[in-house]
Structure 1
Amino acid sequence: MNDQPPTRTVIVVEDDDSVRRSMQLLLHWQGFDVRSYPNVARVLSGEDIDTARILVADYRLPDGDGIGVLTALRKRGWHGRAFMITGHHTPDLERAALSCGYVAVLQKPLRHHELLGLLGR
């Protein structure tokens, strides 16, 4: 475990409890301060999201999708880096996510080293 204090805040939006918890623990152990949410409504009502520098959002969420999350955050003036995760990858989805402002689209099951490599850039 990394004993360094968290230096960067990550927003995780994932409706699967086990995946969300796993990402939260992984990122925390790597020194990130993590704010996790199970759906669009909860993340958009979060008061602490404006200070986050990174977004990791699932594409399919119970009340919307990851593109809607990033679009709403951008309208609020959020300027962090965003990464989408999905178990339903298609070329059209990847094009839509990248044109919306996502830096990368990662496929589930998520490879932790791939996510950490992207976040470390």
Structure 2
Amino acid sequence: MTETMETTQPIVEMAKANDEFRKVLMTGDKMQVVLMAIPEGGDIGAETHDGHDQVLIFVEGQGTAKIGDTETGIQAGDLSFVPSGEFHNFVNTGSGMLKLYTMYAPPEHEAGTEHETKAEAETDPAEQ
């Protein structure tokens, strides 16, 4: 499937309908929009993005956000901001999927990237 290039989209509905771990929607020169779905008990994966700020907006489910040394509960309607170089992870602690959309500035993934599962994302050479 190719990357969607419309400039206005129903992002909350799209995020709620998404069941893929990662699905890149839009990639510009300076920003990228990605849908994510984290299964029960799963996580995004502890990581640090050097040179990329990230904003995550949660639309369904609940979990825990760890950004730097701070850990807090998250739920639908919450936003998390991850500054460049800050260690972070997001864990689904609820029942059902934790669904969100996220923005990277500048882009983090190749345009059109899709990963059905976290395991698929971890074995993708383009993500290493």
| Structure with higher RCO (Cα < 8 A, 6+ apart) | 2
Which structure's residues are more often strand, by fraction? 2
Q: TM-score, normalised by structure 2?
A: 0.28
Q: TM-score, normalised by structure 1?
A: 0.29
Which structure's residues are more often helix, by fraction? 1
